[in-house]
Amino acid sequence: MSFNNLDQLYRQVIMDHYKNPRNKGSIEDGSFTVDMNNPTCGDRIHLTLKVEDGIVQDAKFDGEGCSISMASASMMTQIVKGKEIEEALKLSKIFSDMMQGNDYDDDVDLGDIEALQGVAKFPARIKCATLAWKAMEKGVQEEEQE
């Protein structure tokens, strides 16, 4: 597949998650919720995770923002469901490394998240892509401190 075709496919995946977000909403009995925003772009997210026995049972988000931030939140909530918290945090580290153009563990199946690789070329948009992931990290950290 040529670079242009792959780039187009990635754009389609991002727009699909933006226009048809997965896991949009909130969880009434969530383990924790986190509100974060990206003042540079105006993105804001309300993330709720339900964690039982160290496993993410459910993940939902609400908010508003650019296509990259909302698509990333949709993708993130999809991939962390059913994962142990440690594995979800590992995925967050891999995603952060990918966004910063660093080497990362490419043996891990990132699914649709790979469509966001091109964001690394646009430093101003990296905060958009990582907002939901940072919210998850913050929530886990706050939960561990309690």
Instruction: Please report, for residues 17, 51, 69, 106, the alpha-carbon distance to residue 20 in angstroms, rounded to integers and kept in the order given.
Output: 5, 25, 13, 27
State the Cα–Cα distance between residues 92 and 110, nearest whole angstrom: 11
Q: H or E stretch including 85?
A: helix 85-99
Mean pLDDT by 10 residues, the chain (146 residues): 70 95 94 92 95 96 96 98 97 95 86 93 93 96 83
Query: Which stretches does DSSP call E strand in 7-138?
Result: 32-38, 43-52, 55-64
pLDDT of residue 31: 87
First to last CA, the chain: 49
C-alpha to C-alpha distance for 65 and 79, rounded to whole angstroms: 20
Q: What is the pLDDT of residue 2?
A: 56
**The pLDDT value given to residue 95:** 96
Enumerate domains of the chain plus CATH numbers: 3-145 (3.90.1010.10)
From 109, 107, 100, select the one nearest 129 (Cα to Cα): 100
The reported pLDDT for the residue numbered 129 is 97
pTM of the model: 0.93
Q: What is the per-residue pLDDT for 30?
A: 85
φ, ψ of residue 133 to 5 degrees: the values are -65, -40
Rounded-to-integer distance, Cα 22 and Cα 10, Å? 17
pLDDT the model gives residue 9: 80
How far is Cα 114 from Cα 112, in angstroms, rounded to an integer?
A: 5
